Chains A and B, each alone.
Chain A
Amino acid sequence: MMLKPELTIAQTIGVRPVYHIDELSKITESRSRAYRILSKLREAGFAEQVREGYFTLRSSLFQPFNLWSDLLPSLQALKQARFFGLSYNENDVRLARQILKGIVTLDYRAYEITKLQSPHLFFIYVDKADQAANMLKECKFSEGTKGRVVIIPRIGEFRNEIQRVYLDCIAYGGRSLLDAIAIEILHNEDLDPKIRGTFKTEDVLKVREELGAQSGTRSGQDS
């Protein structure tokens, strides 16, 4: 799949929780062009329709265009994410770890390598999604939208696992951006220097502060 630079026009819409097609139309100066661009963004995995006329955008859309091709495998995998739940709590994650074989990414893997944010969703790359889904269903998991176990198909490059988790975090966006920043700070030498995300200064400062607090930085009572 090729992503065309014309899609970057959507970046000027700004970061908000939800958008209406009219807001995109104002930027594209044509409703039909807005729909065409939204369709491409949905195809790529940047956008998701939430209800008639409304859509959400992943914050990864606002990354520089030259990073988009590196994010595409993660976005495509996330687009095919399937959610499963049994007890809808941490027990589901423990059980899924025993049932499924695959590569853990996002929340739980980021937590293992950064300890920055508590994990919530258990994302795992599997070779055969249908087979993995059946294994979960055999253990009484139900497929839906609220489960905490998320299977995603293996798409793209996995040779450098840290790099892949880093790109997955940028692609997923939102709070996972903080994980990506923490990975860059803590595992800088494991990342390709040519493939880096762009982050807001306030987010970088927040992560630095959190990591500093974790390592027990304190000034004592005399500051």
Chain B
Amino acid sequence: MAPNLEQEAVKIADELGEVVFVGALAVSHYSNYRTTKDIDLATAAPLDEQKLIDLGYTRWSESKGTSWLSPRGIKVDFYTRDVGGIPVTWILDNAVQVRLGKNKEIRVMCLEGLILAKHRAARTTDIADLRQLLTHRGGNIDWNLMAEIAESLEIAELRKISNALAG
């Protein structure tokens, strides 16, 4: 993970409590890769806008309330219902704890959820991220866990891609 984004993730987790990082920050946990300077996170509770404002967050100008700027000026996108059709409750239940330095921890989306979300989104960057994830971590996928959230056709497709890229 990019060091400055790691620090930002730790601060956000301290400020907001139970959050799970998804998107590029999570991708770079599984495979060191390129990231833009924005953060996507999933949180179960409805967004408490007043709490965000009190903490120094400001609304992102073009957003309808899901995108904010952190007090350090980093854009943060909040997902409160689902990420690519994967329920936030499932994401929180299956999140992976990541230790950053001494005593600092954040939670990131599990590999299976991240791969499925990228596969469903299928934008240019998602396909690049998916290729990166499956090349380097395709052999680590828990297909039983994947079966909890993916359709059988999606699993077949992902198995095929994973076999081709990860070997």
Contact = CB atoms under 8 A, between A and B. Distances in A.
A214 B124 contact: no
Nearest to B167: A51
B164 A178 contact: no
A220 B124 contact: no
Nearest to A88: B32
A221 B37 contact: no
Instruction: Name the interface size band of chain A.
Output: 35 or more
Contact of B62 (A116, A209, A210): A209
The dominant DSSP class at the B interface is: mixed
Interface string B110-141: 00000000000011110111110010000000
Instruction: Name the interface size band of chain B.
Output: 20 to 34
Contacts of B38: 209-210, 213
Interface stretch (A15-23, A27-35, A37-45, A136-144): A15-23
Contact of A221 (B59, B73, B164): B59
Nearest to A178: B125
B61 A223 contact: yes
A116 B34 CA distance: 10
A159 B107 CA distance: 47
A219 B2 contact: no
Nearest to A216: B73
Contacts of A206: 36, 125
Interface in B12-44: 32-38
A16 B124 contact: no
A135 to B, nearest CB: 25
Given A56-B131, A107-B34, A18 B164 contact: yes
B31 to A, nearest CB: 10
Interface centre among B73, B122, B128, B165 (most CB of A within 10 A): B128
A80 to B, nearest CB: 21
Interface string A110-132: 00000011111000000000000
A123 to B, nearest CB: 13
Contacts of B165: 17-18, 50, 56
B75 A200 contact: no
A54 B167 CA distance: 11
A203 B125 contact: yes
12 contacts: A16-B161, A117-B34, A117-B35, A118-B35, A175-B34, A175-B125, A203-B125, A206-B125, A209-B38, A210-B37, A210-B38, A213-B38
Given A50-B165, A107-B34, 8 more contacts: A17-B161, A118-B2, A118-B35, A175-B128, A178-B125, A213-B73, A219-B58, A220-B59
Interface of B: 2, 5, 32-38, 53, 58-62, 69, 73-75, 122-125, 127-131, 134, 160-161, 164-165, 167
